Amino acid sequence: MPIPESQLDTWAKQGSISQSADTYATIKNALEAAGSPYASKSYDVFLQGSYGNDTNVFKDSDVDVVIQLTSTYYYDTSRLAEDEKTAFQKHFVPASYTLGEFKTDVAKHLEAKFPMQVHPRKKAIDVEAKGNRRSSDVLVATDFRRYYKFNTPNEYQRADGLCFLLPDGTRIENFPRVHSARCTDKHKDTAQWFKPTVRIFKNMRNRMIEDKVLAEGVAPSYYLEGMLYNVPKENFGKSYQESFIKCFNWIANADKTKLVCAHGLEWLVRDNSPTSWATADFDTYMKSAAKYWTDWCG
């Protein structure tokens, strides 16, 4: 039998707000405290992920915080014509303070603020939970500019985002602020049905993992949010059951190779891309979710 409206209504509700807000404030204050090794640099601290997008659910734990260096930028000019690349390089001035140096300085500063509670990971720096403070992932990033046209420093087309480096030097490019803004616009366009629907899909995914019908890591929240962003607004509304069915069926019948991430600057489902959903994982999730919905027994 399908999952009843009462269960979907529970799953649609937002998770903890006050505790995550307090955690973010604590981490932000620490990062911005006077005396840091990067105090003379220009940077920005902001919340991203589920808490930043108001799609957090009850079991979300880590608060995702970004500290983004704005006095340095990395770039991608691969989409420019050769004469545009030449023009860009003519005006480009290499940075004197690199992303690697910034990450080292941030880690040292956090370790001083939270002794024995800071652990550098592959993508971010983990700050352990303590007392009422939730665990946090601090992503150390820098400005990133993807150019589509360049004639002069005042005449260009580009997308502005952030990038960070993996331990092996791989650069990961993302656009969290564009993602967040477009999800907020989608929420308004769907008469406030979009974000509760995202939370339903996330909670159902969590329950599937608990019931061992889906492996951890197959369907990350970021991709579920992006997947639902593609669904036309007329598929949201009336009831949570109807919204789920219409949204899921639209996705199941769509050309998955044409789905985009919520920020609209990358394909959602692609293989061999660090910022896209692997095809096999997408297919596994869709098949498992369809079966879970029809086999639901509470």
The pLDDT tens digits of the residues spanning 47-61 come to 998 878 888 887 766
72/130 same-domain check = yes
Residue ranges of the alpha helices (H) in the chain?
5-12, 18-31, 49-53, 82-91, 99-113, 176-189, 194-210, 221-229, 240-253, 279-294
The total of other beta-carbon atoms located within 10 Å of residue 105's CB is 18
168/240 same-domain check = no
Given a cut of 80, whether residue 298 has pLDDT beyond it is no
- Residue 171 has what pLDDT? 94
What the block records as the tokens of 247 is 């949204």
191/283 same-domain check = yes
Last residue of a domain, one of 174, 190, 208: 174
197/113 same-domain check = no
What are the C-alpha distances in Å from 251 to residues 23, 133, 146, 186, 256?
Answer: 35, 38, 29, 16, 8
Between 15-24, 114-123, 131-140, 230-239, the lowest mean confidence (pLDDT) is in: 15-24
117/215 same-domain check = no
Given a cut of 80, whether residue 282 has pLDDT beyond it is yes
Q: Which residues 6+ apart lie within 8 Å of 241 measured at CB?
A: 2, 3, 4, 5, 8
Task: Answer whether residue 2 is part of any domain.
Answer: no
- Residue 297 has what pLDDT? 73
DSSP for residue 122: S
What is the model's pTM? 0.92
69/214 same-domain check = no
Confidence of residue 19 (pLDDT cuts 50, 70, 90): confident
Task: Answer whether residue 218 is part of any domain.
Answer: yes
Task: Answer whether residue 9 is part of any domain.
Answer: no
The total of other beta-carbon atoms located within 10 Å of residue 216's CB is 9
- Distance CA(94)–CA(107), nearest Å, equals 24
141/189 same-domain check = no
233/198 same-domain check = yes
Cβ–Cβ < 8 Å for 225, 55: yes
231/102 same-domain check = no
Structural domain boundaries, residue 32: 15-174
Last residue of a domain, one of 122, 152, 174: 174
- Distance CA(191)–CA(194), nearest Å, equals 8
